[in-house]
Amino acid sequence: MHEAAELERRYGAHNYDPLPVVLVRGRGAEVWDAQGRRYIDMMSAYSAASFGHAHPRLVAALAAQAGRLAVVSRAYHTDRLGPFLARLCALTGQEAALPMNTGAEAVETALKAARKWAYEVKGVPPGRAEIVVCEGNFHGRTIAIVGFSSEAAYREGFGPFPPGFVRIPYGDAEALEAAITPHTAAFLVEPVQGEAGIVIPPRGYLARCAEICRREGVLLIADEVQTGLGRTGRLLACEHDGVRPDGLILGKALGGGLLPVSAFLARREVMDVFRPGDHGSTFGGSPLAAAVGLEALAVLEEEGLVARSAELGRHLLERLQPLRRSPRVRAVRGLGLFCAVELDTDRIDARTACERVIEAGVLTKDTHGRVLRLAPPLVIDRALLDEAVERIASVLA
């Protein structure tokens, strides 16, 4: 075991089980380990590295702002936050944004907003607001969020959990309709479920859910922490169904792969339930975060990365389809640069497959022991994609 990995194992909490590689540097869609061996990154840190590693424009923006003013209390205005929020709202079609750091923080912000909106605007009796979520969801790791997870491993040993959540099957609009009561504040949903294994709902599902929510006076809140900012071949995955949600959660890619930046966005009626002192974050909306986030949005637009994701995503899915002929592969699916290879676990488990794929020079990650996730940086080129697929195919063969 490499010394760095051994120190991590000895002194770190064992809440992760890292794959056997020690990475030391990266550039674009490639990374190198401590021995100087090169790998193609087909994970991009769950979309956090959507712009690739060490993107020169983002590194320059980070360095310039860090040398000027990195952190200051939100008790004061800065020259970076306003332009960042304005561009974020203009791109997404939302009216207001509340900046945070991690995706889980942004989800918690959305939950607080939905509940307060239910009490102040919808008229739900105090303490009775309900939020509908889906089976297979992954919205983070806080107590509230794991409390409404359907994954037993995320919940075990961490209860009791806050009440007020109703779980329904994913991809079933009729189940949503049946679950709504006069106390329902919001429906929180991932347009594509990432952690569950790149699960894509039936076409029209989100549009039908939006219609139900409008009719019933329920907020539709889309968690696009993984799927937002071009990952699925649209700016937002909601756009595949022509939906503009009442609330939107972004993170990961928003920090340009350099630092945690997230945001909850909504229309004014929803966001204005927050008043001074209701919510906050020391580092959320800092000058450093705002400068990097603003440059990340500029890179996304000016380098045409959304269209690139759509084009390369079609190519990736086409190249992956022949894998279905392997007896070890049960299914291949994807949307944009967000793809999955589901394995026959009677023949090979996904963790073992990941380790063998790493030996072949490609980084990916399994989920639930049965799916290989493929979500490379949006800056990857076709030749690297082809090389990665060929190496994965050789392992599965």
Residues assigned a catalytic role: 138, 223, 252
DSSP 259-311: S--EEEEE-HHHHTT--TTSS--SSTT-HHHHHHHHHHHHHHHHTTHHHHHHH
| Amino acid code (one letter) for 274 | F
The answer to whether 387 and 393 have CB atoms below 8 angstroms apart is no
Closest CA to 375 of 261, 254, 239, 226: 226
Distance of CA 23 to CAs 35, 271, 386, Å?
Answer: 9, 41, 22
Distance CA 49, CA 70 (A): 21
The CA-atom distances, in angstroms, between 221 and each of 89, 225, 363 are 15, 12, 32
Q: Which two three-digit tokens encode residue 131?
A: 């939020």
State residue 315 phi and psi, 5-degree precision: -65, -45
Q: Which tokens go with 58?
A: 């983002």
